[in-house]
Each structure stands twice: as C-alpha cells, then as structure tokens.
Amino acid sequence: MDIAITGIGVGCGAGHGKPAFRHALFDAPDLFGVLRREGRESPADTPPFLGVEMPDPPDILPPRQARTASFSARAALSSLAEVWDQAGLDAVAPERIGLIVGGTNLMAREQALALRAYSDRLVYVPPRHGHMFLDTDICGLCTAAFAIRGFARTVGAASASGAVAIISATEALRAGAVDACIVIGAMQDPGAHDLQALRAMGAMGAPHFADSPGRACRPMDRDHDGFLYGEACAALVLQRSGDVDDGAILGRLLGAGQVADGTRGPEPCSAAQVQAAERALAEAGLTAADIDYVSGHATGTPAGDATEIETYRSLGLGHARINATKSITGHPLSAAGVVEVAAVLMQMAEGRLHPTRNLETPLDPDFGWVGPGGATHAINHALKFSFGFGGISTALIIGAP
C-alpha cells in the first residue's frame, strides 16, 4: 500500500513557510553565525557555539495562550497550520486524523532557564511548568488548536526521531487507524549544557572556524570537524494513495527500514545502515540501482561521514546524486528527518538538487556529490537516511508522484 505525502509545512533559519525554505535550499544563503538565544552562552574563555537560529514563528495562538507555550511548540504550530491548509484537512473527519510528534527532550533550554529563574524561590514556580516542558505539551497545543481527534503521541529516536515518526505514521495508516496522519519533526531546543556536552564528545564542531561561521558546516568535506546545530521544524501529512487525487500527491513513501545496531552512544555502524536501506528497498520492490538520488544524513562529523560513505560503497550507490541539507540548515536534531524529507519533495517538484555548501574537497570524489553549485536532476526514487544516537539507523524510499 503506497503512502502519499500531501502536505508540507516548514520553518528554518531563512524563515517560516515553504517560500522561505525554497529560498534557503536553492539559493543556499549563509545562515550561520554565533548562537545568541538566551541560555546558549558558551563557557568563559571558550569559542562561542555556532549554528543557525530561526526568526520567531508567526502568531497562531491567542496571546494569553502563546505566553505559556514553548518556542518549540510555537514553531510546531506554525508548520502545522501551513500543512493543514495545503492538505485540505478540514475535509477529513477529526476522529480520522492522527498526530505523531518526532522528538524528545525538546525544551531543554527553556527548562534550564526556568530552573535558573526559580532556583531560589521554588514556591513561586508557575503551575504550567508541570506540563509545558513535556514533549506531549506540543500534542496538547496542536490538538487544541486544530481538529485532531484520532490520536496524538510522541516518538523519540534522537536525530532519527523525525524519520521514525514518519515510519510510525505509515504503520497507523496501513492499519486503518486513521485516514490522515500528521507528522511533526519538532524543533529541539538545546541549551548551553547540551551544546557543551556535544562539543565535549566531539560531535559538534567549529572551533577552528570560530571566526568564519559560514565555512564551519562542511558535511562530507575533508575539512569537516563536526556538526553545527540549526533550529528548524517541519510537518508532513501522510495519507493512503488511494484516498487522494493524484494531483494532491507530492511524493510517495514506498518503503522504510529501521535497525538497532546494539550501541549506546554516537558510534555509527555501517552494517546497520546498509541493513536499514536493504529493508526499505525490499519493501519498495526496488534495488539500489533504481535509486537516482540520496539525501544523506551527512552531519559533518568525521566518524559519521566516513561511516556513511562506507555504507554508500557497500550498497553500490556510486551512480546516484548525493547532497547534504544540513550544510544549509544546520543539524535540526530531532526534526532532521522530517525537514530533509520536505527538502526531498521540494527538489522533486523543482527538478533540481540543492547545493551542498562548503563541499570543496569531498572525502571520496568517486561519488556523485552535488557541490556548491547545485544541479539539475529529475528525481524518480530517492533514498533518505537518518541516524540517531543509541544505535538507531533508518532509511526511507520516496518515489516521485
């Protein structure tokens, strides 16, 4: 049973909405700089944290309610409003609409600020703090603002959360639980403690590009030194292909694979990545030879990029075009899988591939990298990888409409 994607809502460092995201993808402006949102200050005498921060989301909630919503929740509501309209969900019975939010520990920065603000006056903690920092608060705000009455839940898989949420939505549709399922790759909002921990483990980079943030994010380039965080959020609507008009279909989810490799931390595993791709290809009834485009997980970490290239070799993907959306948006952590599927769909619609910023000296020049200039290319079958800490490897096969 093919699953159709019928709506996209998105926000990134270039702004909120598909026009801003399209501009970011194909014009590839330099969105990187020092992270300045309160609670992301680097330790004294250390380089600042670099990355991408987005503008404030448009107002969806009434002002009184908006004041009690986290930044992540307001970004999610903005993407949901956009996707709701595009997919025409007002025509679907509310009890036949589901919601899956991809991500965990989504409001760490704001929770840390609250702990700091009330540390010496705990008796004055606002009652709303009992629920507003829970990931499920995004479910509650979304279902209160929109007619979603089927089910609502969150799923967590670190940086693969968005992709796992998409897989969960396809399972709900195939089981007949709902007729439309909204997937939100929620904006994960790390604070200074989280960013310093990621830097300490060697995952987050940029110390030797501290004076030139725009050059620091370099997926698959020999001069990479780690990922850069990027604020982003995206929403998709998934429906059974037979339930919608062909003209409403933006792309088709043909297959998916998810594998646990048995590791705890950030150790990538090529064998698991290959297995996830093979499962997705088998479900789609395709082989690697049918894949003409790969949207890499491609974070810019030395171990991650090298392992992913090994996966490409093992699968025989030397013929496919490959690019890295994180070179433009930064790494949105939990939201990455949904943001990057949105990018795949927009590239399908445009018949061209977005640039990979700063890809000047590829780690392996024998692959079909899309460099800083972008490329014209009609995507028929795309392979989208997403990997997460904790040994989570996922692969999605997306077909053109």
One domain, residues 56 and 143:
yes
User: How would you write the pLDDT of the chain (401 residues) with one tens digit per residue?
Assistant: 689 999 999 999 999 999 999 999 999 999 999 999 999 999 999 999 999 999 999 999 999 999 999 999 999 999 999 999 999 999 999 999 999 999 999 999 999 999 999 999 999 999 999 999 999 999 999 999 999 999 999 999 999 999 999 999 999 999 999 999 999 999 999 999 999 999 999 999 877 888 899 999 999 999 999 999 999 999 999 999 999 999 999 999 999 999 999 999 899 999 999 999 999 999 999 999 999 999 999 999 999 999 999 999 999 999 999 999 999 999 999 999 999 999 999 999 999 999 999 999 999 999 999 999 999 999 999 999 999 999 999 999 999 99
* Cα 262 from Cα 372, distance rounded (Å): 36
Choosing from 203, 225, 247, the residue where a domain stops is: 247
pLDDT of residue 49: 96
- pTM summary value: 0.98
| CA–CA distance, 292 with 334 (Å, rounded to integer) | 26
Residues 352, 229 share a domain: no
Count: domains in the chain: 2
CATH code at 271? 3.40.47.10
pLDDT of residue 37: 98
What are 180's two structure tokens? 């439309």
Residues 57, 202 within the same domain: yes
Task: Name beta bridge partners: 388.
Answer: 392
Final residue of a domain: which of 225, 247, 269?
247
Range of the domain at 292: 255-399
Task: Quote the pLDDT of residue 207.
Answer: 76
Nearest residue to 213 (alpha-carbon basis) of 221, 202, 205: 205
Between CA 397 and CA 280 the distance in angstroms is 6
- Shared domain for 139 and 277, answered yes or no, is no
Which tokens is 256 given? 């998916």
* Domain match, 234 and 262 both: no
User: Based on the domain organization, do 261 and 185 belong to the same domain?
Assistant: no
Residues 343 and 259 in one domain: yes
Q: Tell me: do 216 and 310 sit in the same domain.
A: no
Which of 204, 225, 247 terminates a domain? The answer is 247
Q: Name which of 249, 257, 293 is nearest 2 in CA terms.
A: 249
Check whether residue 230 and residue 266 sit in a common domain.
no
Is 282 in the same domain as 191?
no
- pLDDT value of position 209: 87
Same domain, 324 and 283: yes
Tell me: do 237 and 333 sit in the same domain: no
